[in-house]
Chain A
Amino acid sequence: MSRSSITKNDRARASAAHPGTATGNGLRWFHGAAALVWIIVVAAAGLGLSSYWQGIGASVGLMALLALGMIPVTGYAGQFSLAVGAFYGVGAYGSALLTMNFGWLGIAAIVVSAGVAAGAAYLLGRPIFRLRGHFLAMGTLALSEVFFLLVNNLEITGGSSGLPLMALDVFGFELFDTSQHLILNWLLVGLVLWGCLRLAVGREGRALKAIRGHEAAAASAGIDIVASKTKVFIASAVISSLAGSLYAHQVMYVNPPPFGVATAIDVLVIAVLGGMRSPWGAVVGAIVLEFLHQSIEGVLTQLLGSAAVGAGQTLVLGALLVVILILRPDGIVGVAESIVQRIKKKPATAEPATQDEEYVTMAQARVTDDTVRELEGHALGEVVLSARGLVKRFGGVTAVNDISLDIYAGEVLAVIGPNGAGKSTLVNLLSGNLLPTAGTVSILDEQVTGKPAHVVARHGLSRSFQTPCLFEGMDVLSTVKVGAHLRGHIGMLRSSVPTPGALREERELDKLAHEVLDRLGLARFASEDAKNLSLGQQKKIEIARALVSSPKVLLLDEPCAGLNKAEKKSLLVLLRQLGREGIAVLVIEHDMEFVMACADRVHVVNFGATLKVGTPAEVQGDQAVIDAYLGVPSDSVKAVDEPLEPEVIR
């Protein structure tokens, strides 16, 4: 594991926080004030409302808490889980059983129940997250139903008649009153809400959103996808279990119905109604849904009689789910955000005219670079990445057929060849995004053959993709910071409860990302949605994301596509610079002018095999290469009636 992480030196430089990043004192004040407002509002509601509304307020708070448990899993990471019902029940029954049957302290029971929920989430999540998303949905739905059936049929849980328990006793102070419940629940909601909001802008939250956006690109940034999903699933289980324990102590009675699938669906509706992408959606959704419930009850009792209320409410619930998803999949908070954005929207930053006064061709730029190298006495370094005998077959087609290559530190190696020659497949084999049929890959003498992409990334390999793989709804700065995933260490818990260390690391990642953005001329787009930019800019963002991890070897798949000439030239200068800094660069490219000026060596691939390796000049003058590109004049090839045995591709 040789990737450089943040050094002391970096830290010193980072302490001069980048201007424009809002992690300074102002933010601290803002958070403090917001927390104060939250506490005052909650206390006022707790003390001012009638006890009927206090009760409703307390239960709405619990629903909001459950929805907050769902949003990081489903909204951030894009995994559809319906296990809330079960984990909610684990907390409730855990508290009831442990306090009443075994005489445990309330707090201890809450902690142990949450631990049980976390363990179950780990055991279920780890294997199931290897499957497609909706299998998780069905698995968790079954889990909720299993839990319901178990507590309904087991003697120890009191069957359908349930279990009684006492009010929660916090070190001799008994929480008995509904106003206390309301205050406790909503303070907790505030805490979890804050944690979710912090998580969203932290390292692990970015990783989750990257997973939702594009799994292959996330893995290439070094994110362990299964581990990240499992972690957030566990966090969600703990929050749900906590809500369950509180529920049990506040109602002082548990029976099976609240812990079945119906609750899971209620929570889902809350999250969808409020908006999945932001934790505020949970709060807004829970309040609005309760409001709807109350009004439906009023209207339906008059219309159809009280017997129809149950079915009527679920009908509205279901219809709401369908209609909101079709009209506004981002929910109420999504609507609010887009209104705010429309108001705040500033005129688009005019693109500065391309400063290309001095007329320099790519070839001339190369000559300048070579002069610098000569002065510096630059020499090729050791072999960074080495591939031997790589083969990849897809069904009957051999895409890569016995390719071996070495990339040296400090060189730019271009891989060229006609369309369909197997170049992109080759890169996918090197980066671990595809498993080779045969052959080996090693990075700095360590075997990485057959290892998944996120492990290969840890050995110091970064890559870009042919078609930009950016993450939906993420701004440019965050997208680049995803690439710096491996340069940070802060886990999920420390992201959401930002410790000084977590904040410092975030500032450092911020600074690294800004440096790379500056270097690539993307600084002015930092806060724009990456997917709204032009193709050329998107390609540059991909390069920035690959660079920010300070890789040992950088693989770029057609970086020039979509760039204009001036941009290509600056990319050329950048790649030459990276070479001088000792990075091994492999670039697939079709633009021959660029390739010839940029590369130290050129590796020509045709029909999945190596055609020629040499300097740009050698390759350019090679008849076989010219033929591969322009094709062989048909009169020089005798057509055969039958394809060649055994493979057409030789």
Chain B
Amino acid sequence: MEVALQLVLSALAVGAIYGSMGIGYVVIHRMTGMVNFAQGDIAVAGAFGAVVASAVLPPLAAIGVGALTGAVASVLMYHLAIFPLRKQGLLVQTIVTLGVGIVIRSILQLIFGTGPRQFDPITAGGPVNVFGASLPQQAFWVIGIALIAYVALALFFERTLTGKALSACAVNSYAAGVVGINLTFMATVAFALSGAVAGAVLATQVPTSFITVGAGFALGLKGFIAAILGGFDKIGLTLAGGFLIALVENVASRSISTAHSETILFVLLIALLILRPQGLTRKLVVERV
């Protein structure tokens, strides 16, 4: 029982990261229909932004800098690499994000090297005991910040005019133009949000484990699974999907082996794409032309 609880608790913390990576994919996909292969590396850039800021700022503010770094990296990618290719079709736009991901990763490597980095947790002190299972305090911050990001995004899409305009662009970009919505501005907002959410949550995780420049690749793939589970549409289900993935990973590494847990996840990714591309949602996202 305690073991099960422990598995679930730590899955909550790790799942929050996968989920927020997935939300990053979903926000961009909803707006543009594309898959951003640089998602993982942008989040890592955010985490390193926080590492740098932590030298002069308290941890919470450093995480804010991490969010900002992620947002800036994402927006720069949109304007420098994707916007010039807007007439080229999704295939080329998708390939270019792969290139951007490599660029970000190698720049980080040139600056920070391949070693792990860390900074102080937001609240000091030992792990918290929950019915016999224990979880570091920082993990609660990770879960909390992911939840805050989710609620903020949900409110943004539901309640604000800009949020609704963003959804409107996704539904019918011609009509969005007709009512006077600026598509480039909206895409900028979407990329900024995507980078900020992924960057902030990953940065929060840095004090409990650590961050390396190469982490983006696996994170990106796992976030992608979360996004599939959310049907590339629903951010709530994406977050839940992230938790499911983390749970599978935890159970697999406990009952099979740590070495094979990632393999199992990526096989799951392929199986999902083939068998249930709509994820936890009821129907496949309608193809947009």
Contact = CB atoms under 8 A, between A and B. Distances in A.
A contacts B directly in the complex (CB < 8 Å)?
Answer: yes
B127 interface: no
A329 B221 contact: no
A127 to B, nearest CB: 4
B16 to A, nearest CB: 22
A50 to B, nearest CB: 31
Contacts of A325: 81, 85, 88, 92, 95-96, 99
A133 B95 CA distance: 11
A31 B104 CA distance: 45
Nearest to A125: B274
A5 B113 CA distance: 64
Contact of B96 (A74, A142, A322): A322
Interface of B is mostly: helix
A11 interface: no
Which of B88, B263, B267: most chain A Cβ within 10 A?
B263
A135 B269 CA distance: 11
Given A146-B263, A153-B260, A311-B109, A319 B99 contact: yes
Interface in B85-140: 85, 88, 90-92, 94-96, 98-107, 109-110
Nearest to B105: A314
A265 B270 CA distance: 19
Nearest to A271: B95
Contacts of A308: 110
Contacts of B92: 325, 329
A139 B268 CA distance: 10
Nearest to A311: B109
Contacts of B78: none
B270 A143 contact: yes
B98 A142 contact: no
Interface in A473-509: none
A346 interface: no
A141 B221 contact: yes
Interface in A321-366: 321-322, 325-326, 329
Contact of B100 (A137, A149, A322): A322
A78 B110 contact: no
Contacts of A132: 90, 287
A321 B96 contact: yes
Contacts of A146: 263, 266-267, 270
B71 to A, nearest CB: 20
Interface string A134-150: 11011101110110011
Nearest to A152: B259
Contacts of A283: none
A314 B92 CA distance: 20
Nearest to B213: A311
Nearest to A138: B224
Interface string B255-276: 0010110110011011001110
A153 B263 contact: yes
Contacts of A192: none
Interface residues of B, number: 44
A139 B273 contact: yes
A318 interface: yes
Contacts of B81: 322, 325-326
A329 B103 CA distance: 18
B103 A145 contact: no
A145 B221 contact: yes
Contacts of B270: 124, 139, 142-143, 146
Nearest to A323: B99
B84 interface: yes
Given A134-B91, A146-B263, A322-B99, A315 B269 contact: no
Contact of A318 (B84, B88, B91, B102): B102
A178 B34 CA distance: 44
B221 A137 contact: no
Contacts of B105: 314, 318
B102 A265 contact: yes
A321 B34 contact: no
Contacts, number: 127
A124 B37 CA distance: 21
B204 to A, nearest CB: 26
Interface in B32-69: 34-35, 37
Contact of A149 (B35, B95, B263, B275): B263
B217 A261 contact: yes
A150 to B, nearest CB: 6
Interface string B225-251: 000000000000000000000000000
A97 interface: no
A161 to B, nearest CB: 15
B277 interface: yes
A250 B217 CA distance: 30
A310 B85 CA distance: 29
Contact of A131 (B103, B224, B263, B277): B277
Contacts of B273: 127-128, 131, 135, 138-139
A261 B96 CA distance: 16
Contact of B94 (A137, A261, A272, A317): A137
A135 B95 contact: no
Given A128-B273, A326-B96, A312 B287 contact: no
A264 B88 CA distance: 22
A329 B88 contact: yes
Contacts of A321: 95-96, 98-99, 102
A301 to B, nearest CB: 14
A80 interface: yes
A268 interface: yes
Contacts of B221: 138, 141-142, 145
Which of B84, B95, B217, B287: most chain A Cβ within 10 A?
B95
A50 B134 CA distance: 63
A405 to B, nearest CB: 28
A477 to B, nearest CB: 25
Given A146-B267, A318-B101, A80 B95 contact: yes
Contact of B277 (A135, A153, A310, A326): A135
A80 B34 CA distance: 13
Contact of A128 (B100, B263, B274): B274
Nearest to B89: A78
A315 B101 CA distance: 10
Contacts of A78: 91
Contacts of A124: 270, 274
Contacts of A322: 80-81, 96, 99-100, 103
A532 B222 CA distance: 44
Contact of B269 (A74, A80, A142, A329): A142
A304 B110 CA distance: 10
Which of A139, A261, A265, A320: most chain B Cβ within 10 A?
A139
Contacts of A131: 273, 277
A53 B15 CA distance: 50
Nearest to B218: A145
Contacts of B84: 326
Nearest to A324: B99
A577 B34 CA distance: 48
Nearest to B29: A134
Contacts of A311: 106, 109-110
15 contacts: A78-B91, A133-B90, A134-B90, A138-B35, A138-B224, A141-B37, A141-B221, A142-B269, A146-B267, A146-B270, A149-B259, A153-B259, A318-B100, A319-B99, A329-B88
Given A143-B270, A322-B96, 11 more contacts: A80-B94, A127-B273, A127-B275, A135-B273, A138-B224, A142-B267, A145-B221, A149-B266, A318-B105, A318-B106, A326-B84
9 cross-chain pairs, A with B, having the tightest CB-CB distances, nearest first: A318-B102, A321-B99, A315-B106, A318-B103, A311-B109, A322-B99, A127-B274, A314-B106, A153-B259
Interface of B: 34-35, 37, 80-81, 84-85, 88, 90-92, 94-96, 98-107, 109-110, 217-218, 221, 224, 257, 259-260, 262-263, 266-267, 269-270, 273-275, 277, 287
